[in-house]
Structure formats: structure tokens, C-alpha cells
Amino acid sequence: MSRLAVIRRLVGVSPQAGLSTSQEALISNSLEAFSKSHAFYHSPTSWFANKEFVERFGDFLMLHHAVSDQALSKDKFEHAFAAACKWAKHIVGETPSKTNPGHDVTINNARISLKTQADESCESGSVLISKWMELGKGPWQYNALLQRFSTHIGNYEHILILRKLARYRVHGKMPKGTRKYKKVPPDWLHYQLLEIPKQLLEYAVKYPIFYTTTDSDQDKGLLPGGCYVYGNPYLMAEEDPTKASSDVILELSFDGGSERKLRLRNLDVRFCIQHAEWKIHI
Amino acid sequence: MPAPIIKNPKMTKEEITRIAQELKLLTTSQLRWVESVIGQFQLPNEFHRNPNSDWITESVLNAIGDSLRIHHAFSRQALSKDRFEYAFERALTQSGFVARLANSRTNRGHDLTVNDIPVSLKTEAASNIRADTLHISKFMELGRGEWHLQTLRDLFLEHLQGYERIFQFRCLSSGPVNYFYELVEIPKTLLQEAENAQLEVRENSRQNPKPGYGYVRDLQSGLLKYALYFDGGTERKLQIKNIRKDLCFVHASWSFQSGVLE
């Protein structure tokens, strides 16, 4: 529909039914949201995020935040991502069922798993995915659990994570060795879209250092634990990557509570590929 | 002359002109989104309120309805508990009520205060939801204390002291085109009848601790009103099953079509 047709439709020359006061307010809020300052970025080397993609997705974010203070949830992210990819002329496949243990969407025949991170403690330097997958009712052995993770990541080629970053400012003088922040009402929304390289996860499956936590839940028979991954996954095959660095590059934790799930923690964003970023004044 | 989209009589010619001016500034993508949102509001809908409802006024009814239609323009998933709480608070506030969400998300008592009345809000959206009975899959956590049905029942009665009214927001049909929601109030007096519940441990269960039921029946007919289910094992939570809707009060319902924005 042309711009003129939309304007005509909205302001009074349409055969359609009218808008109520609250609906009209909502449209008005949306228009106001679109008029706010914003900055959208995309990586020139991204395999899918081009100008059209970031614009379409960014507009969706502005529209969403015209009616909600909450971060974009996973289901909305999935929808907005597919819509923006279509807008950018990518081939978007059928969405699999919600209970599909693998990918969430296919773009140009590549299977993609979509994740979100938007908790209040979301810091810019570290990725946390609170529920990568459910661990089900099978045996609670760490090697077997890691194998399930390995099988799971075999179901998709790319893992993308949408992060809503919180804004903080330093409050007063900080005592040595502590960090004291006071949250202020953010005047800018900040989202970024990262890809976790699959190579990194395959490396994690290969070089785990298992641990158990002390707060074991004996009556459930499940020992919470996980594995740390050290080293440098990008070294050449003939070198021992685990000796390259003593830094933890990521952690996979097995949560034995009633949910029985696998989390990914402490992944340094420097190991990820940034595809796009949106900053929106609210 | 066809009917205008904006037929709010309070809208002045200047306001219409302003909107038209703002529309001119939009990019093609933005214009398409706006057009999609307008399209949502033109899909068929039927909102009903119980004329005896004290909180669901016409204004609250329409505000919640608009929130639902906008939500489903972005998502096919049923409105979650936290989103419902937010939408309910906003609808009440916009309609002149004094409504405030509880400060803590993990608060064991009420979720919302409306005109100084503490309220507990629940949601139900399971695929096997039944029209004539309500199910609350997690009324409260039962903690790690003594697992004794009478003690657990007393914990439930104590929990009820934290609020005066209990509502359940139910999604009976969740798309992809047709949606149906209703808001039902479970009388607190009905739940307080659990004081005389018939408690039974499921001795045959392999769970540890063993689950149990607390049946609440009509004293004269013997018909079940609802059942407390003390979910043992690793869950340790209280469910309430088979609450008869005819013993509750249906405040409102929202039936509408929605298409996800493209």
C-alpha cells in the first residue's frame, strides 16, 4: 500500500471501521516512537544483517517499546527476526513447532537457533543463556549430559542471541574492590545481535573440565555441576588449545532442579560475532 | 462518503493533520508497520463484560482487549502472567482505578493492589484447558518443611490471608487466527472451605514425599467443588484442580481474530 493510501486510510477516506480512542492513542504512540532518535548498525561482513534487515528489525523494536517496557521476549524475537529477514529478501523457511528441540527458523536454508538475554544483570561483556535446552529425565551423568548438548547443537548451523543491555551509572565513590552501581531510568534502549560461533561450542564439548557444586540436592539424586572450558578454540590443530590460556572462555552448567536444564554462562562477547546493534532513545 | 478510520468525535481537524504530517515522515518500513497495526484493529472482535462486574468497566474491558490484540499482533503465545499483570494494572489505571503492582516478583502474597484491595492473579493457558473447570498448576510452593497434609493445608489457608480477591485470566483459544480469553474470579470463601477438606495421601505413589489430595465437596450433594493437590517428589508445590466454574464469577471475555504482523 502506498504512503498516500495509508494516510488516506488513517485520516478518513477508508471504507473500514473506525478506531477507538485507545487504539488511536496506540497509533499515535507508535508514530511518536518512530520519531525518536535512533541509531542502527550492521556489520558489513554479516551474512544476513544488511541495511534493510536492521531497519525493519529496529522499527519493530521501536513499535514494541511504544506499547511495552519489557524486553523483547523470545517468541517476539523469533517473529521480528523472520519478518526482518523477509524484508531483507532472504528466504525464510516454515517455523517448526514450539517443541522442536532444534532450530527456530531457517534463513536461506541455514537452520538457526535463536536465544535472548535480557535479565536485569545483563552486562555488556558476558553472555548468559539461562536455558539452552531441557535435560529431560535421562541419567544424570555429566558426560551423557554434555553429549546431549553436542547432539542438540548438531541440529542447527547458527546460534544468534539478542541481548538487551542494561544501562548503569557509577554512584558515588566506589570502595576498593567493590562495584557499586545505581540503576537509573534508561533513556536509551540498547539491543545487540550476536552470533555464538558453533566452532566455540564444538570446542567446549571436546575440552570440558567438569566440576560439581556443593549445594547438592540429595533427595533428588541429582548433583548440580557443569564444566568450564579453557584455552583458545581458534588455534591450529597441531597445537594444544587448552594450554594456550588459563582463562575460562565459557561455562556450561547442569541445573538439577525441577526444570533440569543446561545453561551457558560467562561467555566473553569477544568470542562472538556482532551482526547488528540498535540504540533507540525513549 | 465512507466512514473514517478515526471516528473519535473528540479528534480535531488539527490532530488529524498532525497525524498525517507524522505519517509523511515515516520510512516505508515504518509505514508498513503502522498499516499492519491499524489492520489488527479492523479484524472481528467481541468483548463482553458481566454487568455485575465491579472492576471490569467498559473502559477496562476495551483497554485489556486492545492490549490482547496488540500482543497477538506480535506473538502467537498466550499472554503470560507478568504481561497480564502489567496490562491489567494499566487498564485499571487508565480507567480511574488506583492500581499498583506488588514491588517484588517473588512476593508470596498479593500481585496487585486495586483501590487498596490486595489481589492474587493467576493465569491458565494449557492446551488441555477445560471450559467448565479451572486448574491452577502452581498456587504456591510448599517448601522443604514437614510433609504432612494437614500442615500443608494450613499453609495454604495462611497463604490466603495475603490477599482478598483471586482472579484467573484464562486463554481458552490461542490462535493462530481466533483467540478467546476470559477473566474469572474464584471466591476466597470457596477456597477457605479447604478447612474441612478430606485429606488423602497417595500411598501407592513412588514419589518421595508422597503426593496427596484435599477434596472439598458440597456438603449436601457430595459433588466435588475442587481438589487441592499436594504435589510431592521434586516439585513440592500446591495445585488446585477441577475448580467448578459455576461456583466462580466470570467478569469478562474477549473473543477476537488476530494475524501476526508481517
Q: Are A107 and A85 in contact (CB under 8 A)?
A: yes
Distances (CA, A) of A144 to A86, A139, A263, B8, B156: 39, 7, 15, 63, 40
Query: Could A80 and B77 be called an inter-chain contact, meaning their C-beta atoms sit closer than 8 Å?
Result: no
CA distance A153 to A147: 10
Query: Could A10 and B6 be called an inter-chain contact, meaning their C-beta atoms sit closer than 8 Å?
Result: yes
Which residues make beta-bridge pairs with A220? none
Higher pLDDT pick, A225 / A170: A225
Chain-centre distance of CA B54, in angstroms? 16
pTM: 0.78
Short-list A195, A196, A199, CA closest to A49: A195
Give the gap in angstroms from C-alpha B239 to the nearest C-alpha of chain A: 15
Query: Could A11 and B2 be called an inter-chain contact, meaning their C-beta atoms sit closer than 8 Å?
Result: no
Say yes or no: B2 contacts chain A, CB-CB below 8 A: yes
Q: Are B38 and A10 in contact (CB under 8 A)?
A: yes
List the helix and strand counts (H, then E) for chain A: 6, 13
Query: Could B5 and A67 be called an inter-chain contact, meaning their C-beta atoms sit closer than 8 Å?
Result: no
Read off the DSSP letter of residue A125: T
CA distance A11 to A18: 10
- Chain B 180-199, CB below 8 Å of chain A: which residues? none
Query: Could B66 and A56 be called an inter-chain contact, meaning their C-beta atoms sit closer than 8 Å?
Result: no
Q: What pLDDT is recorded for position A25?
A: 74
Mean pLDDT (chain B, rounded) = 88
Q: What pLDDT is recorded for position B136?
A: 95
Q: Are A167 and A184 in contact (CB under 8 A)?
A: yes
The minimal CB distance from B35 to the residues A6, A75, A79 is found for A6
Q: Which residues of A touch B27 (CB under 8 A)?
A: 55, 59
Higher pLDDT pick, A130 / B20: A130
> Looking at chain A, which residue has its C-alpha nearest residue B13?
A11
Q: Are B222 and B208 in contact (CB under 8 A)?
A: no
Burial of residue B152 (number of CB atoms within 10 Å: 0-12, 13-18, 19+):
buried
Q: What pLDDT is recorded for position A37?
A: 86
Total residues found in chain B within this entry: 262
Read off the DSSP letter of residue A237: T
Pick the range with the lowest mean pLDDT from A167-181, A197-211, B191-205: A167-181
CA distance B107 to B162: 10
Looking up cell 509523511 gives B24
Q: Are B170 and B131 in contact (CB under 8 A)?
A: no
Q: What is the pLDDT of residues A20-52, one digit of tens each?
A: 767 777 777 888 888 888 899 999 999 999 999
Higher pLDDT pick, B235 / A251: A251
Taking residues A247-269, report their average pLDDT: 84
**What are the start-end ranges of the H helices in chain B?**
13-25, 28-41, 58-74, 81-94, 149-159, 188-192
Backbone angles phi, psi at B24, to 5 degrees: -65, -25
B19, B38, B82: best to mutate for the A interface, most A CBs within 10 A = B38
- Confidence band (pLDDT; 50, 70, 90) for B109? confident
Say yes or no: B126 contacts chain A, CB-CB below 8 A: no
C-alpha cell of residue A91 = 528466504
Query: Could B29 and A22 be called an inter-chain contact, meaning their C-beta atoms sit closer than 8 Å?
Result: no
First to last CA, chain B: 30
Higher pLDDT pick, B82 / B107: B82
Query: Could B19 and A28 be called an inter-chain contact, meaning their C-beta atoms sit closer than 8 Å?
Result: yes
